Structure 1
Amino acid sequence: MADVVLYTKPGCPYCTAAKSLLRKKGVDFTDIVASNDPEKKAEMIQKSGGRTTFPQIFIDGKHIGGSDDIHALDARGGLDPLLAA
C-alpha cells in the first residue's frame, strides 16, 4: 500500500473531503496538522512547490495537490493505481 501524507487544517471542508475519499478507499494516511505549526507549514510549502492552501496531499512522496486535485485524479482513474503501488 502507498504511503499517503496529508497536510491539513482543522475545520477545513476540503481536508475533510480528501480524507473521506481516502477512507472510502480503505487507505491509511498520515494527517499532519500544519496550520498552526510554522515548521510543518513551511515544510508543506517547500515540498508542494509553494502551495499554501490546505490540504496538500502526497502519495509515496509525489505531490498530488489539494482536494480538488485528488478527486479529479480519482474521477479519471488515476488514483487507484497510485494507491496500489
Structure 2
Amino acid sequence: MQHTKITIYSTPSCPHCKRAKRYFKELGLQFKDYDVSKDKRAAEKMIKKTGQMGVPVIEIGNKTIVGFDQNKIKRLLGI
C-alpha cells in the first residue's frame, strides 16, 4: 500500500502525535518522524510550510494536515 511519502512533525509529549504514529504503524505504513522539540531546522521548515507551531503536522505526498484528522488521512491515502 505504501506509495506515498509520509512525514510527521511531532514532539514526544504530544498525545495526538503518538496517536498519528500509532495509526500509521497499524496500517503498516512507513513514515519519517521529525521531533521538532530537538530539531530546530525541522521546526522552522514546519512553521514555514504551515504558519503553525502546533503539532502534529502530517505531510502525505504534497498535502499537509495540521493535527490528527483520521478521516482526512484516509482520504489522502485512498482508503
Q: Normalising by the residue count of structure 2, what TM-score does the alignment of the two structures yield? A: 0.83
Q: Offset at 1:35? A: 1.7
Q: Which runs of 5+ in 1 are unaligned?
A: none
Matches of 1:43 and 1:53, distance apart in 2: 13
Matching residue of 1:21: 23
What number of residue pairs does the alignment pair up? Answer: 77
C-alpha RMSD of matched pairs (Å): 1.7
Q: Offset at 1:72? A: 3.0
Equivalent residue letter for 1:80: L
Query: % of aligned pairs identical?
Result: 31
Matches of 1:58 and 1:20, distance apart in 2: 16
Q: Which runs of 5+ in 2 are unaligned?
A: none
Task: After TM superposition, list the pairs within 5 Å mapping 1:1-85 onto structure 2.
Answer: 1-48=3-50, 50-67=51-68, 69=69, 71-74=70-73, 77-81=74-78
TM-aligned CA distance change 1:21 to 1:30, over 3 Å: same
